[in-house]
Structure 1
């Protein structure tokens, strides 16, 4: 990338393999390690942008596939881009649409040109290519554009994984050629290769040869399990250039994030905290709560007494339990708010620990608290 264009990454501290840095974009700075809430169709479900920002989030994720189908990328562009359209002034990263085409479209045909598919909304026929994905993400005004790739399914045979990876690398080259460089706007390549070390190595080498502002590890969190995912990270991350941010796509649980940060990942996204909030699951330092559980119905404590989110400051577990039982929309809203605050608090703690050279202590305390589990109401003395 031209040194005068693209996003900029600065590395401020390291503790072991873990990194503390900043990504500078056209719409602001992202402190890393960072977690990106998912706003697939231009909205983090149930929340105002101001509420998402108040959780500590600095960047959101949008999606090419969904936004191209509805309301249409050109329309968003005419209305001032995704930042203005959804009233989010900070950085936005857009997924290229490759994963959604593979996972949501029952009727699809892949060729070297791209993927022809039928919309999951109305069955209409569309063609998505690397060039069109770059054009759509340009209309959306994404600060970070993702190269168009094929997300290799799991499990896949070695020949299938090799063929998929090689196609993704050809599409990565076409994505780079079609991308319009501007100051503060970056293009990230995506490493593929399934669980095979030699394929991941070849993928990294191809992407570095093309040249990107950042490098994502794709094709994980698709059913391979945490142990395998970590093994792939262990042999992939040392191959990536240290001067660029590293993004682990679609991950994950708090434990996943902590272990990936220890290995050198800088950026994450996942639907888990928001989806969990809509299904009555709340994340806390002492594990996950099911707010539908009857044990919460007379519990006057907040979800987490140390948390400063609106759900914890103003509402009890009993109230949130009642909202879910009564199917009131405020229940999912409050729990989504809390989960995003918890995730951002975790990221803030990781960043501080790396700065202080105290990551091992932080991780040990994290695991000890998680292992303790929630304190029952009777033991808490309430």
Structure 2
């Protein structure tokens, strides 16, 4: 098959790789119809995430058609069109039984925190991802779900991570009716978090970013107020000004570790394997939320400690809720919102690019060219 492969920082290409095969009776092989490049893929592309190995195939957002199933798979049939959550979960461990699918205890031998993730660093299990013609899906009875006939396939694609994660971020923010919610970051997850905050009862939603085309999308898609932090002297002070100098009731960190990084971060991550991610946005959240407020964090941070203002958070009585999003847990409610016409997830897609041009797609997305917000890959 043809598949994207990582060759080192800022270097990806399409190569021939062996077709995936059934390795366990619970496996399925999916022929990919659509995949996406996620903002967290840029951490890999830039060499910012430890243990990203040459030859690995990225891509944790994908949908496709079931081509083959293992002998134990009961919920899928060959020919089903499915959406696959970015996380891999066994469905039976202590954590899965409580809906904490991203913390599954049985799918990642390399860590005790996050479970398995498709197409990410080997710190998350080393599973090849969906930026390819085919992909092996473990525990096929647990993760994939047949796409309803009424659901646009590209809307389903957004549910595999970006939409589910943004919605989860709004859930973690403990929003009460009438609350002021600030969302840091107007990328894919930030846009969905801002949109979802209204579903939770927010009375006011403010999105902070530095790129005007993304802020324009936040105004159009999420009906949010916006702050361009390059146009103010102090973004935290501006957040305070906008909230009667109390601070926001909730702040959602939809940035995570900055994917671009600086020279020190590149050395500490790519060379020394020590980079956990710069917590600038998270510290803005702690400083910008009111005393007794809530900070929500569901972005991509590495497994190494970060320089977070924990003392400030404690002294302000801030509640911090965080985790990788168990997106499948959000699907029933999201399907209701989409079917009711409250949400059209594919509206954030800006580019559709053939798999063979994956290098150009990453460059376009990474360099923020041509108003690129969400690129979709077509095998």
Kindly indicate which of the two structures has a greater share of residues assigned to strand. 2
TM class by smaller structure: under 0.3
Task: Report the TM-score when normalising by structure 2.
Answer: 0.26
Whichever of the two has the greater Rg, that structure is 1
